[in-house]
């Protein structure tokens, strides 16, 4: 499955901010995107940022990460740079 370049950048940022492997980061973000009703292959910046701030924190907490909001802030910051 081909994902958008934004999805790829968000996955890289999630890997950097956590102990998740590449596969785990991609899967976690893919689940959060799909739960929000979007497609990882065509997600745009506003959609992905909505996921990062609203759906992803819940996924990270479910994985036992207590600093989920800080992680999401780091991902959003990474996505803001071009």
CA 5 → CA 32, 41, 62, 63, 73, distances in Å?
17, 9, 26, 25, 19
Report phi then psi at 67, rounded to 5.
-105, 35
Quote the Cα angle for 1-19-57, to 5°: 70
Q: Which pTM was predicted?
A: 0.89
Assess whether pLDDT exceeds 80 at residue 11: yes
What is the 8-class DSSP label of residue 53? I
The confidence band for 10, taking pLDDT boundaries of 50, 70 and 90, is very high
The H-assigned helical ranges of 1-82 are: 5-17, 22-35, 45-50, 56-62, 68-80
């Amino acid at each position: 499955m081909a994902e958008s370049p934004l999805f790829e950048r968000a996955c890289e940022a999630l890997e950097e901010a956590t102990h998740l492997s590449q596969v785990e980061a991609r899967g976690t973000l893919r689940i959060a995107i799909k739960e929000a009703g979007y497609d990882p292959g065509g997600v745009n910046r506003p959609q992905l940022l909505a996921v990062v701030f609203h759906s992803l924190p819940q996924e990270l907490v479910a994985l036992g990460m207590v600093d989920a909001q800080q992680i999401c802030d780091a991902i959003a910051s990474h996505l803001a740079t071009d």
